Amino acid sequence: MAAEEYGTPGAGQRLAVLGAGVMGTGIAALAVGHGVAVSLIDLDRRRLDEAPASIGHQVRTARLMGALPDEAVPGALVTGLSLADLVTAGGAAPTAVIEAVTEDADTKAKVLAEVSELVAPGTPVISNTSSIPIDELAGMTARPVDLIGTHFMNPPCLIRTVEVIRGTHTGEATLEAVRGLLAVLGREPIVVDDAPGFVTSRILHPMINDAVRVVAAGTASAESVDRLMRGCLGHPTGPLRTADLIGLDNLVDSLWVLHSRTGDEGCRPCDLLLEMVRDGHLGRKSGRGFYDYEGEQT
């Protein structure tokens, strides 16, 4: 990715993305593809070294599929081990920060606390989470009014709708700034109130858990479950292929969050899911989940 100036609708925006995993690189690719400059931060040097190639591949693929504007000059991409290092080195301050670290409340709270102390007041601090309540994280930040949640779906370049979670303390200016950022990124925001799992995960993840139970019981294969859900009920990919795309480890983390905060036994991860995660079969990102992806470029 070149670091030149760019003359696209993303000019003037600089996004800091914290976490170079599947979602972090996916969000970075979406931003870069719309001409937004991105600082990608991760503590893992190997991840950072691999991220530019992954982001470049995602941008090229999305453009071939017509999911990114052909005319947009790619935004500059820089990587670093800490946001503080980039700022003190003279890098431009971010206009927004998206935290996309692992789906663990303590980890997210720690990262958000550190970041909120670094950025200027009024800078939106966005937690990309599939299940953790925003109000639960807000107490750890310097300015809860600047904190808001998003739930980008994977892959971000291909799914246009974004769940936006407004916490009790989220300010109107923060909400409007995030609406503006998502407009630059060509996404449609749907704003919902704060709750464990919000809307999408609260409905989808227990349903996937039930689908796994059906497979574990021997009632049907993963392929049959997905074919029935696609053909009879209109699910676009089927719950188990969707689980592979989410990442089975991420799904388990989200289900534990829902179980602990709602008491719903239907959210307790079923034994087959836990076994697959223990065995390292995490879905598409590991090459194997309910389906085999060995040899595919991700």
The confidence score (pLDDT) of residue 7 equals: 35
Element (H, E) at 137: helix 134-138
**Active site amino acids:** 151
Check: CB of residue 37 under 8 Å from CB of residue 13. Answer: yes
Rounded distance between C-alpha atoms, residue 144 and residue 290, angstroms: 40
Check: CB of residue 142 under 8 Å from CB of residue 122. Answer: no
Rounded distance between C-alpha atoms, residue 41 and residue 124, angstroms: 17
The confidence score (pLDDT) of residue 2 equals: 32
Sign of the Cα torsion 285, 291, 292, 296 reads: negative
Rounded distance between C-alpha atoms, residue 93 and residue 240, angstroms: 41
pTM for the complete prediction?
Answer: 0.90
Q: Taking residues 36-52, report their average pLDDT.
A: 95
pLDDT digits (tens, 9 = 90+) for 191-209: 999 999 999 999 999 999 9
Structure tokens at 76: 């500059």
Q: 287 to each of 148, 152, 153, 293, how far by Cα in Å?
A: 33, 22, 20, 5
pLDDT over threshold 70, residue 34: yes
The confidence score (pLDDT) of residue 259 equals: 97
Indicate the domain borders of the chain.
14-193, 200-286
Check: CB of residue 169 under 8 Å from CB of residue 44. Answer: no
Sign of the Cα torsion 119, 122, 127, 128 reads: negative
pLDDT digits (tens, 9 = 90+) for 218-246: 999 999 999 999 999 999 999 999 999 99
pLDDT digits (tens, 9 = 90+) for 111-128: 999 999 999 999 999 999
The confidence score (pLDDT) of residue 87 equals: 63
Fold of 14-193: Rossmann fold (3.40.50)
* DSSP at 292: B
The confidence score (pLDDT) of residue 72 equals: 83
Q: Taking residues 157-180, report their average pLDDT.
A: 97
**Average predicted confidence (pLDDT) for the chain:** 92
The confidence score (pLDDT) of residue 11 equals: 57
The confidence score (pLDDT) of residue 83 equals: 82
Check: CB of residue 288 under 8 Å from CB of residue 281. Answer: yes
The confidence score (pLDDT) of residue 91 equals: 61
93 Rama sector, left if φ>0, alpha if ψ -120 to 50, beta otherwise: beta
pLDDT digits (tens, 9 = 90+) for 248-285: 999 999 999 999 999 999 999 999 999 999 999 999 99
Domain at 200-286: CATH code: 1.10.1040.10
Q: Taking residues 159-186, report their average pLDDT.
A: 97
Q: Taking residues 129-143, report their average pLDDT.
A: 95
